[in-house]
Amino acid sequence: MKPEAQRLAIAEACGWTQCVFVESIGLAKGMPGNNTPSYGTYENGMAQLPDYLNDLNAMHEAEKTLWEKDWASRYDFVDKLARILNPTHGHHLQSGIDLLDATAAERAEAFLKTINKWEETKL
């Protein structure tokens, strides 16, 4: 799944609407929802989307949004994240510390897999 598509899918899951990626300027933007923060307003009230794949704080906020909607999804998220970090053993990692070292991009992939929005990149 391309980074732009990941970013848009996470934003939409967090309540952003009318999300688009403007390739010419490399900017992902959308209309903030009720609880979504605005990162600078652009034309027609659209604002820059959070950089979920590179910002752990943005991913933390996305995860909190998911937990508020469905607390039990935390378990699925942790399982998906463990399988990304260790495809062979999955949730049988040596310690939970491994999960703390996950990058924002790894957390974004687990998030999208948890909400069934992950798409494998076609070669």
pTM of the prediction? 0.88
Two tokens at 110? 């687990």
On whether the CB atoms of residues 31 and 16 are closer than 8 A, the answer is: yes
Task: Please check whether residue 122 lies inside any domain of the structure.
Answer: no
Q: Can you list the positions of beta strands (E) in 5-97?
A: 17-22, 27-31, 47-48
Domain count, the chain: 1
For residue 89, tell me if it sits in a domain.
yes
Distance from C-alpha of 14 to C-alpha of 1, rounded to nearest angstrom: 18
Answer whether residue 44 is part of any domain: yes
Q: What's the confidence (pLDDT) of residue 58?
A: 94
Residue 90 lies inside a defined structural domain of this protein: yes
Show the domain range for 11: 3-114
pLDDT digits (tens, 9 = 90+) for 26-60: 788 899 887 777 777 777 788 889 999 999 999 99
In a domain, 119, yes or no: no
Query: Which two structure tokens, joined as six digits, stand for 76?
Result: 């699925």
Judge whether 21 lies within some domain: yes
Listed as ranges, residues in the chain with pLDDT below 70 are 88-97, 122-123
